[in-house]
Structure 1
Amino acid sequence: MNSLSNLLDNKISVAKIVNSHGVHGEVKIVPFTNVKDVITNLEEVLLYNTSTRNFFFSKVLQVKPLNKFFVLNLRGIKDMDEAKKMIGYEVFIDKKDLPSLNSEEYYWYEILDSEVYYEDGEYVGKVEEIIQTGANDVISIKNLEDDKEVLIPMTDHYIIELKKEDKSIIVKKIEWYENGTNQAD
């Protein structure tokens, strides 16, 4: 029998169920990606609740965009009460089912936990979070030694080199960080 960790191997969370939608068992999800094809091409998913550790597999019958959300019609969820029980579940797919990206693009899981260095070789920390700002993503980097957080925009100006395979990123130091503060003047 497969353990839960084996079930999650080679899978990636692409969304979270945040609400029910309508009376016919549809669920509203918030995507964890800005690559719409990941969501619109969903076919079979593993639904997993990290709090309760409950999971089940389902076939996606229909996907509809709804502003910054999507609405899924899932096999086995027939009414609003069943849909409400799914709130909090994450939607996992096989990594192999992710659309291919060009070398300039990345999936969040590829850079989370990456080691970050300034271009002079100074260690900055590990990528803990990716923040969507609308204009561009921002990586939140945490250094466990001094417990400092550094925010770096994911733009060509600040990202010198991103090695997804090595999980390492070289960044340009932001001027106001150079004097030891993360506050803009």
Structure 2
Amino acid sequence: MTKRWFNVGKIVNTHGIKGEVRVISKTDFAEERYKPGNTLYLFMDGRNEPVEVTVNTHRLHKQFHLLQFKERQNLNEVEELKNAIIKVPEEELGELNEGEFYFHEIIGCEVFTEEGELIGKVKEILTPGANDVWVIGRKGKKDALIPYIESVVKHIDVREKKIEIELMEGLIDE
């Protein structure tokens, strides 16, 4: 059976001379995913198999996550990792609490009002701060931004790929 892989980040550059790499994170749980000792898999152009690495250190620097791997401790050893996509296999995603979802479960869901009117599909999730914001693609209209908060999002069914929201006044531009 083919393994399902999930994108958790991309190495965009090196940082310093001690083998750190700059990562733009695509994971919902960066602190957990990049914890020292965790195994990550790097998918690189020109390689058929992923490169397995173990996180040695993790810290934040501006908008980047800085990672150092146990297997590569200097600038020369990480130079080739630029543009690598960081992934984990499905079995390493872990269980979530009730009411928590992975981004890949939400992206692609159709969004409806409580009255059953289709608004569009979730095409991206932004993480600006206090709460996530879902970008809803709408046919022939500007994308809608929906905050993931209890007063707006009323029901999520990831199996059916359907989300029901309370459409508050002014939430969506017509």
TM-score, reference length from structure 1 = 0.78
Letter in 2 for 1:40: K
**Counterpart for residue 160 of structure 2:** 166
**Contact map agreement 1:58 1:76 (CA 8 A) in 2:** no
Q: What 5-or-longer segments of structure 2 have no aligned partner?
A: none
User: Percent identity at matched positions?
Assistant: 27
| Distance (Å, rounded) in 2 between the aligned partners of 1:104 and 1:41 | 27
Letter in 1 for 2:11: I
Q: Which of the residues 16, 25, 33 maps onto 1:22? A: 16
Task: Give the length in aligned residue pairs.
Answer: 171
Q: Which of the residues 156, 159, 169 maps onto 1:175? A: 169
**Contact map agreement 2:20 2:74 (CA 8 A) in 1:** yes
**Counterpart for residue 108 of structure 1:** 103
Letter in 1 for 2:126: I
**Contact map agreement 2:36 2:54 (CA 8 A) in 1:** no
Runs of 4+ in 1 over 4 A off after TM superposition: 52-55
What whole-Å deviation, never above 9, does each CA across 1:134-177 have from its counterpart, x for those lacking one? 0111100112x324311110000110101122221111113125
Q: Which moved more, 1:168-177 or 1:81-90?
A: 81-90
**Counterpart for residue 129 of structure 2:** 134
| Shift in alpha-carbon separation, 1:173–1:56, aligned structure 2, 3 A | same
What whole-Å deviation, never above 9, does each CA across 1:65-124 have from its counterpart, x for those lacking one? 224543333355453244233222221001221232111212111101111111111111
TM-score, reference length from structure 2 = 0.83
Match of 2:34, SS state, is helix
Q: What 5-or-longer segments of structure 1 have no aligned partner?
A: none
**Contact map agreement 1:40 1:63 (CA 8 A) in 2:** yes
Instruction: Please tell me whether residue 57 in structure 1 is matched to residue 54 in structure 2.
Output: no
| Shift in alpha-carbon separation, 1:42–1:115, aligned structure 2, 3 A | farther
Letter in 2 for 1:14: V
| Shift in alpha-carbon separation, 1:129–1:42, aligned structure 2, 3 A | farther
Give the superposed CA RMSD.
Answer: 2.5
Letter in 2 for 1:137: D
